[in-house]
Structure 1
Amino acid sequence: MNIHQSCRRRCQIRLLLQGPSGSGKTMSALLIAHGLAAGHWPKIVVIDSENGSAELYADLGAYNVLTLSPPYTPERYVQAIEACELAGMEVIIIDSMTHCWEYLLDYHAGLPGNSFTAWGKVTPRHTAFVNRILRSPAHVIATVRSKTEYVLSEKNGRQVPEKVGMKIIQREGIDYEFSVVLELDLRNNATASKDRTQLFREQPAFRPGQSTGESLRSWCEQGSPTKWEQIHQVIKKCQNLDEMASLYYSLSSAEQAEFRPAFQDQKQHLQAVALAPSSLGNNQLFIQPNPTLNHGNLTHSA
């Protein structure tokens, strides 16, 4: 255990958008992502479990889509996130997390024995999914569905349903894991129910857009560089392929996989300026431009 002085470091945003059907979750996520990606649509990807709804907005720009089909297991969501990272995506939109939770609820219902004991087989799988979101080097925007919640109250001697607000279709307490939680209404307006950035503190309802993403990006870039950024900077400073090879093999296997797209970009840059090729030719630093996932493909929106 080490005690160290607090230090504000750069970070990636973890944003949760929640709202009922028709509240504009997907569109809002795309516009915010555009601001987070500094206006570069090709650096944005949507992990789409909403039956292709992400491509309805393809006129916005050339963002990418990775389509998920059932079963919506936590493990497949994790694979999708990793595929997006390997493709060099800077903003990952998960649309939506609700399908994963509904799968786990069905899985739990089918387990034999005591219900409480059965949760011991469910909770770790969901926790692993959430932890993978938190570890991602990309900005992550996740959407969740919500529904109107009612309680029975007594009026004039009768039990009548009374609307008490919106309830998200997701594991209780999921909002603790995100830096910002925005609640969307049917007019596509957002209010912040949680805001670690303080950008939306005491702000009235607003319509999320590119400027929202730009503000979040500016907040994330405050502070000292993270280890992830430092390694990226070192990669970009490599002057030849031998330096790249030395740096590549000094990293752990997990880091090699994470930074492979950056190595590939730098290698292409060096070749473009006619530097002599070296021993990296067979070092397996290549990735497929459109990584695939079981039942899913990362493609450009069209």
Structure 2
Amino acid sequence: MGTFFGLFTCIDQASIGVVERWGRFEKLAEPGFHFFNPFAGQWLAGVLSTRINSLDVRIETKTKDNVFVQLLCSIQYRVIRQNADDAFYELQDPKEQIQAYVFDVVRAHVPRMTLDELFEQKGDVAKAVLEELEKVMGTYGYNIEHILMVDIIPDDSVRKAMNEINAAQRLQLASVYKGEAEKVLQVKKAEAEAEAKYLGGVGVARQRQAITEGLRDNILNFSHKVEGTSAKEVMDLIMITQYFDTIKDLGNSSKNTTVFLPHGPGHVRDISNQIRNGMMEATSAHVDG
């Protein structure tokens, strides 16, 4: 702050000295070397720092929705160099004065806000405190640099309830998203199954049409090459041949165990009649098209 050597004084940087003559304020002493004449009643009454100081203030108050909260404010202030005499003579304890004004402004604003509004508008509260302190403390030689609303701490029971509400809302939202995802999956699965069944039906229809056309061609070729045979006789011969080929394939398959099949001339005749009817329907459709 300052170094005294009898009649000589050295004021440190970032400091300002207050010089009196016969007990009355005379001038401010800037940083550097100074000479005082004690025989003329001149002396250094004190030295003030012009560095920025920080003051943390904790205020407990109640919101509009009857929630008790604690607010932690950080006030950064400094002595105005040209008004250092006011800061030296006017206030005995500037920190206590600043704290009192912070209490007054915060307790006037916060009760008009709900807890949610306080969290959303804490900057407005800090701005109101800053404006009030600048107006008041400026007359005492202090400048308020910044005010930070560091923390808002509700009552423990309120914090627990808020966390539970938040967790419940998130779970509800997650359930909605999960339900929507499952719905989309089911819709896509149903669409895929419908498409597969449609394509399967188209494939089976084309397969049956190809079989019918192949049988028809075989019957016509056989009838032309072998004289005295009718289409019905050729069809019966083909059906019997395919019937026995099918039984042979079932017997040769290693993955099959025991298979019971109706067997007899009547069953073969029934199968041949069904295929013949199918061939005639396909031929009729082909001709119509």
TM-score (norm 1): 0.20
TM-score (norm 2): 0.21
